[in-house]
Structure 1
Amino acid sequence: MENRCDVNGSKKASYSSDTEGRRSRSPSAIVIGGGFAGIAAAHALKNASFKVVLLESRDRIGGRVYTDHSFGFPVDMGAAWLHGVCKENPLAPWIGRLGLPIYQTSGDNSVLYDHDLESYALFDGDGRQVPQELVQKVGQVFENILKEANKLRDESSGDMSVAQGIKLVMEKNPDLMQEGLANNVLQWYLCRMEGWFATDADNISLKNWDQEVLLPGGHGLMVRGYRPIINTLAKGLDIRLSHRVTNIVWGGKGVEVTVNNGKTFYADGAVIAVPLGVLKAKSISFEPRLPDWKEEAIDGIGVGTENKIVLHFDTVFWPNVEFVGVVSSTTYGCSYFLNLHKATGHPVLVYMPAGRLAFDIEKMSDADAAKFAFTQLKAILPNASEPIQYLVSHWGTDENSLGSYTYDAVGKPREYFERLRTPVDNLFFAGEATSIKYTGTVHGAFSTGLMAAEECRMRVLEKYGDLDTLEIFHPAMGEEVASLSVPLLISRM
């Protein structure tokens, strides 16, 4: 990777606060956060002839997109799916240009089925496989329950949780109630829904759970991981790793951004692309403080946690399906393993706990977490061999993320996502939490980075007072991919 990473930094930042006439120097911006949104924003601003520095608190770029290579092949420990395998996806030109293969897990454009029903192998606690007819039948029942729950929300002016909505539906429609094994399969479907939102069903807004926009083309796994895209976008950028921002002074003639080593950077504007969990924790102070409407949005949007415990084996002993699941009488007791062997050819299973279960597992050591996941597996597949390697994510407690991705909290308006995106003077906001249409997705984060860059560019150049320059800079924004339309390499097995 060819980006310049000045970890220690010089005494004087290159984004000076000198009083030379604005006409005699380049417009400048500071981007805070090196995830997909921040890298996209910095890339676009650099293309628009801005002087840009990107400050990243970690010792790597990517943020909640992290492709690990310690097994000798790529494994995404954070975001791994492309939601919307189609040319309309804003990431498609990059994926096509780099020749990155996608393994399509579902052609269904819904929240519920990012994998086709026939790709599940579910087992009860005694290791007996649930008949496929029952899996599909209960899947249909679950869809009907959610349809009835949506009718319920349309009749009500207030909001309630998905869990509460389902409870009321069951009381009104006893025929939808499931008993025994069928009920356990129903709980597994609800557990998978909780995984989509990275939180428990009693936290998810019934009014807004299905309000995000899903692109056509279904869902697909990035076979070689997301790293090639982020590395390509980052090429040539001035990136300062291990630079944790602690204070932002904004307004007036520019922004002044201080990092944990005491160094201060100055620029005309700043794009803030840190995870919502970090903003919630108030680990960055703003002077003056952000307006009430912005703080209300930060506080009101939910942030959930879904983690990955990746188990690498020397042999494949599991069924040739995309998901291996354990059903239980509670969602907390259910579990699922993503089979990477089907998509990548490597003997890897990924255990994916979400919500309260993820929170509880984060309290364990990595060794104990891997043991816990393997114990779940051994209960249903007695011939399971011990993993030879493992990896464990900690998105909920990692101070650089403090959560995996956002969801609609009960009783909070969906417009909070748009409020979070809305600029404040010369501060511009980006990230999956600022995308009202594509919340929680990589392409959502990428799109908001481009949007924040464009807003920053317009605002700063207007302040320069030379509106003619607005058109000079504009054509360069992303021109290197605008004319490309490379077909996506999509496979199914």
Structure 2
Amino acid sequence: MDSQSNKSNRHLQAGSRHAASPSVIVIGAGFSGIAAARALHDASFQVIVLESRDRIGGRVRTDYSLGFPVDLGASWLHGVCNENPLAPLIGRLGLPLYRTSEDNSVLYDHDLESYALFDMEGKKVSQELVSKTDVIRQDHSEDMSMQRAISIVLERRPDLRLEGLAQKVLQWYICRMEGWFAADADTISLKNWDQEQLLPGGHGLMVRGYLPVINTLAKGLDIRLSLRVTEIFRHHNGVKVTVEDGSTFVADAAVVTVPLGVLKSNCIKFEPRLPAWKEEAINGLGVGLENKIVMHFETVFWPNVEFLGVVADTSYGCSYFLNLHKATEHSVLAYMPAGQLARDLEKMSDEAAANFAFMQLKRILPNASPPIQYLVSRWGSDENSLGSYSYDIVGTPHDLFEKLRTPVDNLFFAGEATSMDYTGAVHGAYYTGLMAAENCRMRVLERYGELDLFQPVMCEEVPVSVPLLISRM
């Protein structure tokens, strides 16, 4: 991986028919950007990746400061199956997966027997009550929030109304739904909340983190770190990209993979301005927030389940902890706030946020010992992400994801927010990177007059030769 070079070497010149190869600038070194760069590099394009952070990975961040890998961003392979476009790579690398679910339901995205639910007084909730409680959805002609839809159903069906502990368990299920979308139920679209495709095989936690995967994809690529793009100028036969220090890069085309939150912030100027339909897609999609407060303890003092849940009168008051000891054998719990709670916790210091999470844990386990180390993610206030991942907000069509992916002249777009089917997932980001690379390759070679229609497309993956390593302790 090349480090940042001096200004005189920072120009990837526009291609011509006599150039050694066509050229592309990839903006963003997350999974979609690295996937696009890898594919174009392997197709003999000149490729430079510009990344604003001092590391690759984007919203994939594997931290080793505790002495072992912990993913502070994306950490699951959603769909543990060979149909998942990332499965061949993970299989070939021999990276272990810990299966935390056998099914793919949004609300039951982990096995019920792997839960331990408690009320605020530390009393355990019976499994029989949990299995009988579910979020209710009815079809409506107009779109509305999930919260409003649930309220309407309960108003019309008095027999479905819940009281006492059962109502609190219902709020916990709403809390889990909010965690899935990283958004509050009063903003999630009723019509579009289940439009994503869920691959078979359940959910597998990346035991050693996602960093080995993206490091493998990035090997040998020309990646320039700590270069924040401020302007993208396009013309009929090329692009010019300007970074914060005034340096410019010129190429035949660009692949834009920055997060949706960054696009919404307008910190990158597009010249000429993006068409109205593209701006509509950027403005119309929601960006959710989910963080992790990872607590490392001296010893394990909690039940041997995958999730510890706390029920409360409102979804805001509910919480859950991922038991990483089950998968990694390290004495670690990860508190995972989403939506408004995540935003409120980002206003606190790391110490205060970690103490808040620990006090939630002490509500259900009064004898809990304090953590010896902790990590706190802040995806909402991170200027390089400005949120966790995208979702459908009330009143907007689901095809905005497709509009966000659609190229504009010689600008191509990728990232989880450009995936119609796998929104918010690492494999969605990865696959859109491959699609953008293939669209870019064909468009540029068509202009050069060198397009070979019989050349295999880059999106086709080699069949997995090594089975996925899946455990269930």
* Shorter-chain TM-score above 0.5: yes
Question: Cα deviation per residue 1:437-466 (whole Å; 9 max; x = unaligned)?
Answer: 000000000000000000000000011123
Aligned to 2:30: 35
- Per the alignment, residue 51 of structure 1 pairs with 46
What is aligned with 2:210? 226
Aligned counterpart in structure 2 of residue 351 of structure 1, from 335, 338, 350: 335
Matched, 1:78 2:73: yes
Check conservation: 2:85, 2:427, Cα contact below 8 A.
yes
Specify which of 82, 85, 93 is matched with residue 87 of structure 1. 82
CA contact (8 A) 1:47 1:477 kept: no
The answer on whether the counterparts of 1:47 and 1:476 sit within 8 Å (CA) in structure 2 is no
The answer for unaligned runs of 5 or more in structure 1 is none
Q: What are the ranges of 5 or more consecutive residues in structure 2 without an aligned counterpart?
A: none
- In the alignment, the residues of structure 1 paired with residue 93 and residue 231 of structure 2 have an alpha-carbon distance, to the nearest angstrom, of 38
Cross-structure match for 2:99: 104
Give the superposition deviation at 1:285: 0.2
Equivalent pair of 1:271/1:427 in contact (CA under 8 Å): yes
Matched AA of 1:105 = T
Q: Distance in 2 between matches of 1:382 and 1:326?
A: 13
1:251 and 1:394 map into 2 onto residues whose CA distance is 37
SS at match of 2:358: helix
How many angstroms apart in 2 are the aligned matches of 1:465 and 1:61? Answer: 34
Is the contact between residue 67 and residue 225 of structure 1 (CA under 8 Å) also seen in structure 2? yes
Q: Deviations over 1:54-90 (max 9, x none)?
A: 0000000000001101111110000011110001100
Q: What is residue 127 of structure 2 aligned with on the other side?
A: 132
Cα shift at 1:129? 1.0
Give the whole-Å Cα distance in 2 for the aligned partners of 1:403 and 1:226.
19
- In 2, the alpha carbon distance for the partners of 1:247 and 1:265 equals 11
TM-score normalised per structure 1: 0.94
**What's the CA shift string for 1:88-121, capped at 9, x where partnerless?**
1000011100001111111112222221011111
What is the aligned partner in structure 2 of residue 449 from structure 1? 433
Distance change (3 Å), C-alpha of 1:132 and 1:484: closer
2:284 is aligned with 1:286:
no
Residue correspondences, number: 473
Instruction: Report what 2:7 is aligned to.
Output: 10
Which of 64, 84, 103 does residue 59 from structure 2 map onto?
64
Report % sequence identity: 71
What is the TM-score with the length of structure 2 in the denominator? 0.98
- How far the C-alpha of 1:253 sits from its partner, in A, is 1.4
2:415 counterpart of 1:431: yes
Distance 1:299 1:241 in 2: 28
Equivalent positions of 1:209-288 (< 5 A) are 209-288=193-272
Runs of 4+ more than 4 Å apart: none
Match of 1:391?
A: 375
Assess if the C-alpha contact under 8 Å between 1:111 and 1:196 holds in 2: yes
Measure the CA separation in 2 of the matches of 1:466 and 1:131: 66
Q: Is 1:487 paired with 2:467?
A: yes
AA partner of residue 488 (structure 1): L
Q: Structure 1 CA distance, aligned partners of 2:170 and 2:216?
A: 43
Q: Aligned partners of 1:370 and 1:233: how far apart in 2?
A: 34
Give the counterpart letter for 1:5 in structure 2: S
Q: 2: distance between equivalents of 1:403 and 1:109? A: 24
Secondary structure of the residue that 2:100 maps to in structure 1?
strand
RMSD, aligned CA: 1.3
Counterparts of 2:457 and 2:6, CA distance in 1: 29
Q: Is 1:403 aligned to residue 387 of structure 2?
A: yes
Partner secondary structure for residue 40 of structure 1: helix
- The answer (yes or no) to whether the contact 1:323–1:338 under 8 Å persists in 2 is yes
- Give me the whole-angstrom Cα distance separating, in 2, the residues matched to 1:260 and 1:30: 16
Which protein has the bigger helix share? 1
2:147 is aligned to: 163
- Tell me by how many angstroms 1:259 deviates: 0.5
TM superposition shift of 1:252: 1.3
1:483 Cα deviation after fit:
4.4
Q: Deviations over 1:282-337 (max 9, x none)?
A: 01000000000000000000000000000000100100001101110001100100
Contact 1:407 1:439 in 2 (8 A): yes
Structure 1 residue 475, shift from structure 2 partner? 4.2
